[in-house]
Amino acid sequence: MSNISEINTESEWQQKINSRITDLTVLMKDINCDVAKEATKQLVALKRSVVNVAGPVTEIILTNDCVSVTCLSLRPKTTLLNTVM
């Protein structure tokens, strides 16, 4: 109950959720190529690879030059950080 009483407004609640999501996000980037550009060519294969390596994830977002993966917990995040794809 202490967690609920600490959150007084909806914006505080949203900030808490956003910080949790940020803590579980992994950015994948390569110095030799544009990962996002390559991922758009084989998006389904990328999603399958990420799920096979780390398990289910919340979302995979392609940004300017990297791929952002939001994990469900610390275990898949750690797995992704320790994996070379």
Round the average pLDDT of the chain to a whole number and report it: 80
**pLDDT over 70 for what percent of the chain?**
73
Closest CA to 58 of 16, 28, 22, 9: 22
Note the pLDDT tens digit of each residue in 26-78. 988 888 888 888 888 998 999 999 999 999 998 898 888 888 899 988 899 99
